Each structure stands twice: as structure tokens, then as C-alpha cells.
Amino acid sequence: MKRILALVLTMALCLALLPLTASAATETVFIGDLAVGVPDDTTKANIQSAIDKVSAAGGGTVTVTGARYIVGKTLSLTIPAGVTVEWKAGYTNQSGSFPNSVLISLTGAGIFEVAANAYIACQSSAGLNTTAIDAGSTRVKVSGGRVQARNGTAIKATSDVTLTGGAISAEAGTAIEGHDIRVNSGSAVTVGVTGTKPAIKATYGVIVENGDLTVRGDIVSGSAGIDAFTDATVRVYGDIIADYLGIAAQDRATAYLVGTITAFREMEIEGVLHTVGAPTMADALELDGYRWDEYTKDGSYVYIRRAAIPYTLTVVNGAANAGQYCVGDLVSITANPPPAGQAFDGWTTDDGGMFYDPYNAATTFVMPPNAATVTAAYATIINIPAILGVTPPVPWGTPVTEITETAQYTGTVTWIEGDGEGDGAMSAYKAPYIAAMSGEGDPPVFGYGTVYTAKITLEPKPGYTLAGVQANFFAVAGAAAVSNLADDSEIRARFPATGALLWGDADENGEVNAADAAAILRFLVELRPLTENGKYQARVTGGANVSAADAARILRWLVELVKDLKA
């Protein structure tokens, strides 16, 4: 019995000493949007601060949201082991003026994940060869969204790159460079180039564990070209050049090759490889915009000539060069001039393909493997200039945070102490002489003798746009000066300085006399209220609350029985 009791006590002690499992830390960073720009250095500092905070908490996820489309310098991040940066933001550099060779540079042993709806793109001009993501040894995962580069590499890494969704593309560079390119996806993954460089360069090879991978371009590998498993489907529109194995299709995997294989060993087949033997009618069917026209085999080479299928592109509210287009063709499209009172609001399509810049009226469309319709959309230019609901600052007044909603827009308000030239927020405390009266957690209020500027950020409602709004179009009642840039969502309204502190002026008429003492007494017997400012200025005795002693001191000061009004 004693042995059993000792065993139970030992087990209980061991359980008590087991460490508790902490939940993973999470942080979210908003980097701005099309209307609200965030400086590059601020973007970097905010994201890195969140990464460091999550790392210090033992690891977790930092989610980045928003959009930046005029990035001016490289975003360099260090991601420690145990930290995942989940990138859900739009992020592109400014075409032709980006001075660096890398858009996003990563170090550390953590994970950088390009998640659903993300858009990372290098819009550099010819000759700049800018890399979109240079990950080094940081692991990269693409689970959705798009990564693209115009003249450089979309993703460059010395470690593995995992693909579970999304699209990676390059025009005149390589889409992905990495050690292993691993595909494990229930959704389609596309990797492609439109130039002559390889779509994928891998130290080892491309491993498709399951899912659907389409590669538009060549694959160059130091070992295996394609290793496909478990019902995977792989389509390669290009050549495979590998030091050892060209294609291994195993466990019911299916591979389609439109090109040649150059490898020490051509292929291993346990699944279905659609380049073996003369093609049947089923093999000759149209596949993703191509027809298979001819098959020959000579030694270790497999040749399948591809013939692109022309499709019709329909442009609504715009125009394109005449003719039909094949998959991957680059088509210049231009929107019609907008109707009076409207502005161009972006390109849309439900038929696949890709716009280089969907917010540019003259842009390039990448043709999908089917007929497509693209539409230029227009929105009504905002024409309500009066911004309502912004109450002018007064001492002890509470700052408003939202404007009055109109039929065309909503808006938020933040406040800046001073003339509004900077971005400094309003102090979290009341003015110094009333700071002691501000309890912890109280919202900030306006102080005495201070100039305040309201920074108003408008959000157009569906069907309306700020594009086409003239500079200094808006007006705010009570403001000394109101300014806005053309086409911009930010409005700055500078108000006159708030009133100065006048001790004893309980009725706030600008002078101290017997009426102030009477106002205090009426307040004490609840005949008439005082404002917060009036109550504060009435406390000439220094007490925490208004009292009859304050009224008495005002009267004694008026008849010169006391030298100083404020005790």
C-alpha cells in the first residue's frame, strides 16, 4: 500500500512540474493603402518591431495587411526561428525610379509566407534586374496571391520554397530560384516566365507531393527535374534540363510535357506520363491554350511541338490592338475617356489572365488560355466639398474621431498639436496645468492656448472616387486653413488656437467679476451648471472640486483683500 501511495505522489509531482503550453503570439501590422501612404522607414520599423515582439514571446505569427504601390527602397527584415510573417498586403516599387536591386530582403531562420490576396511585384524598368523577394536562408511559402518581377527574379532563396497556392511569374527573369521547390497543394499553383530565362532553377529539383502545378517555361535542376507523387498533376510548357533525372511520375501522378527532356536518365514512370508513345486523340486535345501537334522520340530526347490556340479578347469601355491572342501574349489595352464627372476606376475580368497595373487606364493584359473579356470601370468623382461633423477645438473639449457620413464618402479624424505639418499625434495627456486632473484611461481633451490640426481621411463609397478631385477642394467649418492634394484622400484642417486659461472666469465670458462668484454659488446649489472648463477655471483655491471658498476668494480679490487671485 505504501508503494502504491508513493507512486501516486511521484506521478502527481511530475505532472505538477510539467511546463504549461503557451499559445503562439500574434501581431498585425497595417502598412497603409492606396489612399494612406506610410513612409518606407516607418513600414520597416513597424513590421520588424512586431516580429521582435512575437519572437520575444516565444514565437508566433505576424500578419501584414494593406497596400503600398510606390515603394522607394528595399524592405529588409530579420525573421528569427519560430516566427512566421504572413504577408497579405500589396507591395510594389515605383516603375523606373527604384534604385535598389531587391524589393524585399530577408534574413533569419523563420518563415515568410505569401498568403491569399497578397500581391508583391517589381515594376522596375529594363536593365534594373530587381528581385522581388531575396530570402537567403529564410524559408519561403507561397499559399496564395501573386509574386512577380519584370526584369529580375520573383523569388530567390538558398533554402526550400514551398508552394501551396498562388502564382509566381517573371517577364525577363527567372520566377523561382531555390534548393527544393516543394508543391503540396489542394489548389492550383502556377509558375511562369514570358522571356527566355528558366521558370525554375533548383539545386535539387521540383517535388510535387500532391496538387496541381503548371510551369510555363524551362526547368533547370542540379538533380531531378520533376518528382511527382500521389495523384499530382504537373504541366510543363517548356524544356527540362536536369543533371540526373528528367521526370519521375509515381503513385498515380500525371505529368504533361510540352518540350524536351535533357537528363542522364530520361524518366521513370509509375503513373501516367503524356509524352510516352505516339499521342492518342485524347492526348491531342487542347490543354491550357495549346494543341499538341507532333511527337517524335530520338534517344534520350522527347519532342512535342506545341501550337498555341488563338482566342478573342473583348475590351469593354476601351480598346486593344486588333486580332486574336494566344495564352501568354502581352496585349496593350487602353480605357476610353471617362464620361463627364467620372474618372477611371480600374480594370476587371472574370476570365483569368493578369493586368500589369489594373489601376492604370493604359496597361498590359496577359492573355489566359481562353477567350476573355476585360472591362474598364468608372466611378463618379466626389463633388461634396463640405466636411461636416468636425467640431472646432475648445479647452476641455473631446476630439471627434469620425466625420458626418455623406452619400459619397465616410471619414475618420485624427488630431495633431500644431500647424499640421508633421504626423505627430495629439498628446495622450491634457495640457500640463490640467494633467493632474486626467485620470488614467481618460480620453485626451483639448488644452488651453493650443493650435490643433484635424487630419481627415476620406473613404469613398462604392461608385465614387477621389481621382479627379482638385487640390484644396474641401472645406471644414471653423477651420483657419484647409488643404488637400489633388486626387488624395487626406485633408488637413488647421483651427485657431483654443482659449487661454483665465482663473476665476467661471462663466467663461472672458473677464473675472462678481458674476463669476454668483455663477459658482448657483452651481453649488444646482441652479445652473458649469462647463468642465468653467469648473476648472473656478478652482482658484486649488481644491479638487468647486466650493464656496472659490467664490469667496474671487470676491476678496475684487476688493483687493488678497493680492493673487489663484492660491
What does the pLDDT look like over 19-50, one tens digit per residue?
444 578 999 999 887 555 567 788 899 999 99
Residue 489, in any domain of the structure: yes
Indicate the residue among 156, 188, 210 that finishes a domain: 156
pLDDT at position 8? 39
Do 121 and 43 lie in one domain? The reply is yes
pLDDT at position 393? 92
pLDDT at position 442? 54
Residue 308, in any domain of the structure: no
pLDDT at position 427? 46
The angle formed by the CA atoms of residues 60, 211 and 203, to the nearest 5 degrees, is 75
- The model's pTM is 0.48
The enclosing H or E element of 7 equals: helix 2-17
pLDDT at position 57? 94
Alpha-carbon span 87 to 120, nearest angstrom: 9
Do 475 and 397 lie in one domain? The reply is yes
Note down the domain range covering 515: 502-567
Do 451 and 486 lie in one domain? The reply is yes
Alpha-carbon span 16 to 33, nearest angstrom: 49
pLDDT at position 563? 87
Indicate the residue among 124, 156, 188 that finishes a domain: 156
pLDDT at position 260? 64
Do 488 and 530 lie in one domain? The reply is no
Residue 227, in any domain of the structure: yes
Report, as ranges of residue numbers, the positions in the chain whose pLDDT lies below 70: 1-22, 34-38, 94-100, 124-128, 185-187, 230, 245, 249-254, 256-308, 420-443
Contact 520, 487 (CB under 8 A): no
Of residues 202, 193, 197, 200, the one with CA closest to residue 160? 202
Q: At what angle do helices 548-558 and 514-524 cross, to 10 degrees?
A: 170
Do 438 and 452 lie in one domain? The reply is yes
Indicate the residue among 123, 156, 189 that finishes a domain: 156
Q: For the chain, state the CA radius of gyration.
A: 34
DSSP letters spanning 179-230: EEEEEEEEEEEEEEESSSS-SEEEEEEEEEEEEEEEEES-EEESSEEEEE-T
DSSP letters spanning 525-551: TTSS---HHHHHHH-TT--SS--HHHH
Do 485 and 559 lie in one domain? The reply is no
Residue 337, in any domain of the structure: yes
Do 274 and 329 lie in one domain? The reply is no
Report how many domains make up the chain. Answer: 5
Q: What is the CATH number of the domain that holds 555?
A: 1.10.1330.10
Alpha-carbon span 184 to 142, nearest angstrom: 11
Residue 219, in any domain of the structure: yes
Do 48 and 95 lie in one domain? The reply is yes
Do 138 and 81 lie in one domain? The reply is yes
Of residues 363, 55, 459, the one with CA closest to residue 355? 363
pLDDT at position 291? 53
pLDDT at position 72? 76
Residue 300, in any domain of the structure: no
DSSP letters spanning 254-317: EEEE-S-EESSEEEEESSEETTSSS--TTTTS-BTTEEEEEEEEETTEEEEEEEEPPB-EEEET
Residue 284, in any domain of the structure: no
Residue 554, in any domain of the structure: yes
Alpha-carbon span 404 to 417, nearest angstrom: 22
pLDDT at position 241? 81
Do 465 and 508 lie in one domain? The reply is no
Do 165 and 139 lie in one domain? The reply is no
Do 317 and 372 lie in one domain? The reply is yes
